[in-house]
Amino acid sequence: MEFSAKQIASLINGTIDGNPEARVNRISKIEEGQPGSMTFLANPLYTQYIYTTAASIILVNTSFKPEKPVSGTLIRVDDPYAAFAKLLEVYHATIRQKEGISESAAISPSARIGRHVYIGPFVSIGEDAVVGDHAEIHSHVFIGDRAMIGEHSVLHAGVKVYRDCVIGRHCIIHAGVVIGADGFGFAPQDTLEYKKVIQAGNVILEDYVEVGANTTIDRATLGSTIIRKGVKLDNLIQIAHNVEIGENTVIAAQTGISGSTKIGRNCMIGGQVGIIGHLTIADNVKIAAQSGIGNSITEAGAIVQGSPAFEIAPYRKSYIHFRNLDRIVKKIRDIEKRIEKKE
């Protein structure tokens, strides 16, 4: 579809600098913009490209003041990135949703399938499972007995949802995700062997959760592993049994969260963070990438870094000393040698 600058500005409450009839039919990165495309400038590091891009329409901040002529039409908004994200949603909504059930899908007679759903080739849906209206279940997805998939949720190719697990409305589950595999529960025996502890619980994803490719969320031993509304999980994350993640928390790739840890609302957790079990992380906490969390964080809004992690300001000061450690040691040895000579 094609949109004019005037139409786009009305959707995002923007103001136009340039030709209101400029038209676009695709999007592009600012450094690769071509005529007929729309792009945006949100990061100041990319400002140089606004003077060379051939994009027809560019979203910019209301405070942006060009230092040289810009060839494209500017649409000024308070937050270009957020405005661009909103336009992507509008564009996605214009794409016709798939509907229909593949002949190769295996669906239990007791399963309940909603209206206007898409169920792709080689999907397997178990006994008493529920798939809500407008859901999209792509090829080779497995949905176990009594599992529930909410309205408008999308399960991409190869997703596995084990028995009794619940996925809310408007969730997006990317390829290769496993929801509801057994938690890592083994009881040591006198024989030095390990006896498996039956994992009798489930996993619950509330509404508007997104889970990245190849992430795994283990079922609870008892009760539920719970991912609250609006949580966003990156690729390759491991979430263990009985973990609870609060609303609107975001977690980057390769993070591992051990069993029974409770993470608060609106937290931001960087990539490759490790969190041990049975901890509590307060609301609004930020954890820097590659940090190791071995103790609960009870202060709301705390920012931590390091392994073991501690407050970020002292960490940064300490890091200066880490980098200078070899020089400091050499200096101490020189002083010791001088003292020995005097003695």
263 has which bridge partners? Answer: 245, 281
Which one from 138, 152, 174, 241 is the annotated catalytic residue?
241
Residue for token digits 């000061």?
317
User: Which residues lie closer than 8 Å to 306 by C-beta, 6 or more apart?
Assistant: 288, 291, 292, 315, 318
CA distance 39 to 30: 5
Residue whose C-alpha is closest to residue 252's, from 209, 225, 207, 288: 288
327 φ/ψ angles, rounded to the nearest 5 degrees = -65, -40
Given a contact cutoff of 8 angstroms between Cβ atoms, the answer to whether 284 and 299 are in contact is: no
241 part of the active site: yes
User: Which residues lie closer than 8 Å to 18 by C-beta, 6 or more apart?
Assistant: 5, 72, 73, 74
Q: Is the dihedral of CA 308, 309, 310, 313 positive or negative?
A: positive
Catalytic residues, which ones? 241
